[in-house]
Amino acid sequence: MKTWYLSLALATALSLSGCATTPSKPLSFAELGQFSATPLNAQTYRISFQATPNISYGTAEEITLVKAAQATLQNGFQLFKVSDDPSNRSQQPPRKAVVYASPMYPPSGFYRRHPAFWPDPFYDMPQVVSLDPVQVSYTIECFKNNKAAPHDAFDASLILQSLGAKYGLSATGEPLVPPAATPPQSK
């Protein structure tokens, strides 16, 4: 009888912990945030990206570079140069704040702080949160070949080959489609 209660408690604990550890589906490149590619003239574009709340500033810069490479290839160019305009120099990482948990009032606060009870070590841990959404914008100038491009221009296809797969893009800038699972065939 005792082992039955023990096995029931173990099964309940395992079933409840399984719900908490179920991984979510990864986001596609288009779901990482809001993109815009605005043509300024025949070979100059403004690439903007506003990230979802859980993306860091460095990752947002990388995603914007990948989007610039994608826009370069989609508009028939091979190389692009990020212009050093005032809007790029003035961009700062988003402001951050430290947030503490709100205090618990009696009777539950009494039990948590009473020496006879085990205190929760993670309750009073501060969390760092971003106050501003991460926004990155680049003005890019596109070139057809190496002859017209400056020496510090990026090769769009090389960026998509190296970083594109990380964000689910092929070397041409198209979204990668995962192979469909085929059901096993019986013989």
Whether residue 67 is found in the same domain as residue 33? yes
- What 3-state class would DSSP assign to 176? coil
Phi and psi, residue 86, nearest 5°: -60, -30
Whether residue 138 is found in the same domain as residue 81? yes
- The angle subtended at Cα 52 by Cα 89 and Cα 50, nearest 5°, is 35
What is the model's pTM?
0.67
Neighbours of 70 (CB within 10 A): 23
Residues 6+ apart with CB under 8 A from 184: none
Would residue 12 count as lying in a domain?
Answer: no
Neighbours of 83 (CB within 10 A): 14
What domain range is 164 assigned to? 27-92+133-172
**Span 3-60, pLDDT tens digits:** 777 777 777 776 666 555 566 777 788 888 999 999 999 999 999 999 887 788 888 8
**Span 37-53, pLDDT tens digits:** 999 999 999 999 998 87
- Residue 68 CA to residue 56 CA, distance in Å, equals 18
**Span 126-138, pLDDT tens digits:** 777 777 778 888 8
More confidently predicted of 160 and 112: 160
